[in-house]
Amino acid sequence: MTDNSRDFQLQCPLPIRRYPRVMVAHGGGGRLMNDLIREMILPAFDNPILSQTMDSASLRVPAGRLAFTTDSYVVKPLFFPGGDIGSMAVYGTVNDLAMIGARPLFLSAGFILEEGLPMETLWTVVQSMKRGAEKAGVTIVTGDTKVVDRGKGDGLFINTAGIGVLEHSLEIAPSQVKQGDVLLVNGDLGRHGIAVLAAREGLEFETSIESDSAPLADLVLTLLKGGIELHCLRDLTRGGLASALVEISEQAGLGLTIQEKSIPCRPDVRAICEVLGFDPLHVANEGRMVAFVPAEQADHALALMKGHEQGKDAVRIGQVTGVDCKGQVTLRSVIGANRLVDMLSGEQLPRIC
């Protein structure tokens, strides 16, 4: 019996456990759905707003600007080293809020369950969301559960939407990127994509590769509190660092140059990428971001990052160079050669988030 199974048997209330698998009726708006919500969801996300079980949550938010975002999570498999769909569904949306400098406050959670999903799986994911929300400092205040018939889903999809508050007056966006800005990333690249791929394909490596999945809002707030005038932030999810940089470069109308030798990537991850034909620049991360900061603040920003749990391996990877170089991202290789970095047409590793 796994730890999860033991916890499930000991902690999951009987009205839930007596149905070992999710049934269509669990999404039907009747007694079974009520049980699912009252016995599993409400106790996990325990808070007075959600517990009112109204059609909408009623929230008090400070006056000013709010951030609002959404993401659906369809990662396959649901569990992988370093994370699972539940923690990811919390951190991913928290990170989207953080990328405009918002303090995340509230999340919604929408579940699309496939008939036949083991109830233990759902319970384990919900517990993971609970812990993720605690770690990220957000409250899950409203939700929805739908069940689709067997063969019409893939176990479990989760959508979260998030509301955050902007406590600064900066506009953190590609339009604010300026020539000379320095590019920082908060840690090594590529672990999330490789960890999910390995779990999906049953690959075994000599070393253990765990996803980098993590909430980044507190790191961003630390930079803001430290007086860093953040020009632009982007989390390096689908499409990896390459897509993020090309997009920002296109939107800013400025060229970027990054140094290959500064791109942080663990040797084992780099080796696996080489064997599988992936470029770490394109592999997705779930706890990594690029920050564009004014050159004169770069050292201070880097020091602040290094002092934070989510940025202890932060490095400077490049700078904003040419004007009139819309979309031009140059990688300066170790031997001094330059190559242009491009966005892929799709994703080399589908369903990693």
* Closer CB to a second copy, 95 or 127, in the complex: 95
- Cβ contact 263:281 at 8 Å: yes
Question: Taking CB under 8 A as the rule, does residue 280 contact a second copy?
Answer: no
- How many residues bind a second copy (CB under 8 A)? The answer is 86
Q: Taking the complex as a whole, how short is the minimal distance between the CB of residue 336 and a second copy, in angstroms? A: 28
Question: Taking CB under 8 A as the rule, does residue 303 contact a second copy?
Answer: no
Q: Taking the complex as a whole, how short is the minimal distance between the CB of residue 12 and a second copy, in angstroms? A: 19
- Cβ contact 92:286 at 8 Å: yes
Number of other CB atoms surrounding residue 284 within 10 Å: 29
Q: Taking the complex as a whole, how short is the minimal distance between the CB of residue 6 and a second copy, in angstroms? A: 29
Question: Taking CB under 8 A as the rule, does residue 37 contact a second copy?
Answer: no
Question: Taking CB under 8 A as the rule, does residue 38 contact a second copy?
Answer: no
Q: Taking the complex as a whole, how short is the minimal distance between the CB of residue 119 and a second copy, in angstroms? A: 15
Question: Taking CB under 8 A as the rule, does residue 308 contact a second copy?
Answer: no
In which residue are the tokens 């669990």 written? 26
Question: Taking CB under 8 A as the rule, does residue 252 contact a second copy?
Answer: no
Query: How far, rounded to the nearest angstrom, does the alpha carbon of residue 244 sit from its chain's CA centroid?
Result: 14
Angle at 7 between CA 83 and CA 208, to 5 degrees: 30
- Residues numbered 119-178 forming contacts with a second copy, rule: CB under 8 A: 141-144, 146-149, 151-154, 157, 159, 161-164, 166, 171, 173
In eight-state DSSP terms, residue 37 is I
Question: Taking CB under 8 A as the rule, does residue 186 contact a second copy?
Answer: no
318: amino acid identity, one letter: G
From candidates 91, 111, 123, 292, binder to a second copy by CB under 8 A: 111
- Residues numbered 313-352 forming contacts with a second copy, rule: CB under 8 A: 343-347, 350-351
Choose among 349, 203, 326, 196: nearest CA to 279.
Answer: 349
Q: Locate all alpha helices (DSSP H) within 137-228, ordered by sequence.
A: 191-201, 217-225
Beta-bridge partner residues of 349: none
* Closer CB to a second copy, 153 or 187, in the complex: 153
Structure tokens belonging to residue 213: 């999945």
* Closer CB to a second copy, 152 or 261, in the complex: 152
Torsion of CA 73, 77, 80, 86, to 10 degrees: 30
Instruction: From 3-11, 106-114, 179-187, 310-318, give the range in contact with a second copy by CB under 8 A.
Output: 106-114
From candidates 1, 18, 56, 267, binder to a second copy by CB under 8 A: 56
Q: Give one DSSP letter per residue of 178-193, joined into a string.
A: -TTPEEEESS--SHHH
From candidates 11, 70, 207, 208, binder to a second copy by CB under 8 A: 70
Question: Taking CB under 8 A as the rule, does residue 192 contact a second copy?
Answer: no
Instruction: From 52-60, 77-85, 221-229, 299-307, give the range in contact with a second copy by CB under 8 A.
Output: 52-60
29's torsion region: left (phi>0), alpha (psi -120 to 50) or beta?
A: left
Question: Taking CB under 8 A as the rule, does residue 84 contact a second copy?
Answer: no
Choose among 306, 276, 191, 288: nearest CA to 243.
Answer: 288
| Sign of CA pseudo-dihedral 211, 134, 85, 183 | negative
* Closer CB to a second copy, 75 or 295, in the complex: 75
